[in-house]
Chain A
């Protein structure tokens, strides 16, 4: 079974600064997806960024980028130029590439990010 670990329960960053959220995972599969989801207070959880394991290039979405280290099973999220609206709970998640189990996301425990002025 796959596991996802987020070792930082809370993080804080000043506005306009850069912060990195850590995520490690364990799997015996070679093909899979990794995700970062964001849930602002009382809002829907939304997909921030996705990484396919077969792609060596790190995914980027505007101010959000990942550092995907497949051999180390590490998938960190970097937020550049942090904004107040980035304050949220961030969840790292794993999904198998195999269609039989493609439905199931395995999540970490989350990291609460505070953004200060």
Chain B
């Protein structure tokens, strides 16, 4: 069974440009999460989808970040325009709604560097 996959694994963009990160959750997982780790700091929650609906987006830092999950399958996280402080690792995770223990599976992360 394929795990959570993220693309691209690494991205270097200039300040002011746009970047779109993609996440493919484990097949059948209704819950999809985005987290971010800025270098040297803790991993922080960004948002949570249940199928195509945003269940909790309290962690989104500002309106330069836009997450979508059309059709309830894969998700994209767009940063536009990117700023230097957006550099970090963006993790996607998924879990199965029917899993009582709600085990969360993470991807490898997308490393974003804004220069």
Contact = CB atoms under 8 A, between A and B. Distances in A.
Interface of A: 4, 37, 39, 42-47, 50, 91, 93, 101-110
Interface of B: 3-4, 31, 33, 35, 40-45, 48, 55-56, 59, 91, 101-109
Select the residue from A39, A42, A44, A110 with max chain B CB neighbours within 10 A. A44
B56 A4 contact: no
B31 to A, nearest CB: 7
Contacts of B91: 45
A107 B104 contact: no
Contact of B40 (A46, A50, A109): A109
B108 A4 contact: no
A110 B102 CA distance: 22
A106 B3 CA distance: 22
B35 A105 contact: yes
A39 B107 CA distance: 10
B60 to A, nearest CB: 13
Contacts of B33: 103
Q: Which 6 A-B pairs have the closest CB atoms?
A: A45-B106, A107-B43, A103-B48, A109-B42, A107-B42, A104-B45
Given A44-B4, A45-B91, A104-B56, A91 B108 contact: no
A37 B106 contact: yes
A110 B105 CA distance: 18
15 contacts: A39-B106, A44-B4, A44-B105, A44-B107, A44-B108, A45-B91, A45-B106, A45-B108, A47-B104, A103-B48, A103-B56, A105-B35, A105-B45, A106-B45, A110-B43
Contacts of B56: 101, 103-104
A88 to B, nearest CB: 13
A26 to B, nearest CB: 13
Contacts of B42: 4, 106-110
